[in-house]
Homo-oligomer: A and B are copies of this chain.
Amino acid sequence: MLRESIHHKVPEPTLRRLPWYLAYAKLAQQQGEKYLSSTQIAHNIAVDASMVAKDLSYVNISGRTRVGYHINDLIGVLDDFLGFTGTHRAFLFGVGNLGGALLHDRGLEQFGLNIVAGFDAKYELAGTSINRIPIHHISRFEDLQQKMRVNIGILTVPVDKAQDVSNIMIAGGIKAIWNFTPFRIRVPENIVVQNTSIYAHLAVMFNRLNELK
């Protein structure tokens, strides 16, 4: 697990929990709250108050004694810190089941991810579009990338193509790969990989359900 030895400023578990706090803060804001303390957040989402305080210490925000954080500030700072207010352009590789589904998900754009094109090896997909996002043959990637300089590649190809397509992405200058396949791709040290295998989560759920019986 070489990659895990890299020192990161903000630990991954913190980065995964901050969106929970953000989601709760937005809900509380809708309900008319003006201030929010880490204790309130902790209580409402059933995590430890000291963990919430520690996680929020990575974010540049200061609360007021007793009342906590001003809720609008907290939301603004978290949205910003997590990158949800930016516009990060991405290419998607593999317009199959999951790839097509992700192209349908307009929610990604609300979180700062703008998929600008999809690529696939199937010639019949080239020239089509999903959700107004154009789909090109994979052979056009290098060309388009030279013009567009996209940093993020979403990997939704079949397992047996995962490594090859990752190599093509990296050769073209992609800096971060969001890997939705259950295949562990190997990449140079300076390439960011985020693994999101939703089918692995499914396995956990099936197992826990079985335990109930």
Contact = CB atoms under 8 A, between A and B. Distances in A.
Interface of A: 1-2, 8-10, 12, 15-20, 22-24, 26-27, 30, 45-48, 82-84, 86, 88, 96-98, 100-102, 104-108, 111-113, 151-152, 159-160, 175-176, 178, 181-184, 186, 190, 192, 194, 196-212
Interface residues of A: mostly helix, strand, loop or mixed?
helix
A19 B176 contact: no
B83 A207 contact: yes
Contacts of A201: 16, 178, 194, 196
A125 to B, nearest CB: 15
A102 to B, nearest CB: 6
6 contacts: A15-B203, A16-B204, A97-B105, A97-B106, A175-B209, A192-B209
A201 B84 CA distance: 12
A182 B20 contact: yes
A76 to B, nearest CB: 15
A19 B82 contact: no
A82 B203 contact: yes
Given A105-B101, A107-B97, A46 B1 contact: yes
